[in-house]
Amino acid sequence: MMQTHANYSRPFPDHWFPALARLCRETAQNMQTIGQANLSLTAEEKQDINEYFHAEDYNVALIGEEITGGSADLVGGWLYTINNLLDGPFVSPVTIAPVARAAIETSAQIAYLNAFEPIERCFWAMRAVTDKIHYEKERDLVPGVFPRLKEATKVHTDRHRGTKFEFPGNTTLVRKTLKVLGGYRMYKETSAYTHQHAWTAYKHSNYVMYNPLPLELRTIRFVLDALAAADYAARSFINFRNTTKTATAYSNLDILLGRRKAVHDEFVAWMTENNVALAP
């Protein structure tokens, strides 16, 4: 547990951290339910995708599901982790930022892929996988996957010669996909508390000893950002999921959105009223 000045006690409402923890748990539950729900694509649509990529025997039509569904499970896991980290007398943003950033990045990837029509979605999911397999030098980890996916992606790129097909890096992915949520700010701020950032370390050490409050306010901001990104990603599945299987989960997300907004608005109003700001 990170130590602070001995005289520090939270001046803000006691219910904020428990409310955020519950939001993390319930958002994770509903996101994972949506991610694991039945695909809405018909057998004919899957066949069309496989035929387009000349991959009828390999069933690449499901790669988009494997990536986005698996990613939803990851985001849910990170939200559960944040839930666990919020239990303590002082919660520094340095403990939350790396996990929140991972949730934000992966939420952006989910929303990015789900924004495409089925064939394009399948292509970009394959491109995301092959780019990372190549980068990590793990072609032999699952034998046969890399060459088959490369063959399938080549079918698409050959049909669109002259077009650049580069999967966006994390910064661009978050900035553009989560623009409506302030993605650039989210990524910049969580990264500052994640990387080996000397200036952040220096500032943090001083805040911990002399003024811990802005650090906990920064923690709250990171949690709210992670929750907003996860909610956005979960809603992006809407065109790819069986509506009957996901109706309850989406209804739950609407309820959670109202509760999150209530915490957010109270948080902003309290800082304004007390003339305090987040730690930079």
pLDDT digits (tens, 9 = 90+) for 170-207: 999 999 999 999 999 999 999 999 987 898 899 999 99
Give the global pTM. Answer: 0.94
28 within some domain: yes
Domain-located, residue 5: no
**Domain contains 137:** yes
Name the CA dihedral angle for 60, 61, 63, 68, rounded to a multiple of 10 degrees.
170
Q: Is 236 inside any structural domain?
A: yes
- pLDDT value at position 8? 87
pLDDT at 175: 97
DSSP symbols for 185-199 = HHHHHHHHTTS--HH
State residue 166's pLDDT score.
86
Residue 6 has pLDDT above 70, yes or no: no
Indicate whether 9 belongs to any domain.
Answer: no
Asked if the structure places residue 85 within a domain, the reply is yes
| Cα 148 to Cα 153: distance, rounded to the nearest angstrom | 9
Render 225-280 in DSSP notation, one character per residue.
Answer: HHHHHHHHHHHGGGGGB-HHHHHHHHHHHHHHHHHHHHHHHHHHHHHHHHT-----
Residue 2 inside a domain? The answer is no
Cα gap 86→18, rounded to integer Å? 8
In a 3-state reduction of DSSP, which class is residue 159?
A: helix
Amino acid identity of residue 67, one-letter, is I
What is the pLDDT at residue 5?
A: 62
Q: How confident is the model at residue 1 (pLDDT cuts 50, 70, 90)?
A: low
End-to-end CA distance of the chain: 22
Q: Which long-range contacts (CB under 8 A, 24 or more apart) does 5-12 make?
A: 5/208, 5/209, 5/210, 5/212, 8/90, 8/212, 8/213, 10/89, 10/213, 10/216, 11/213, 11/274, 12/213, 12/216, 12/217, 12/267, 12/270
Domain total of the chain: 1
Show the domain range for 143.
Answer: 16-274
The letter for the amino acid at 143 is: P
Kindly state whether residue 212 falls inside one of the protein's structural domains: yes
Average pLDDT of the chain to the nearest whole number: 94
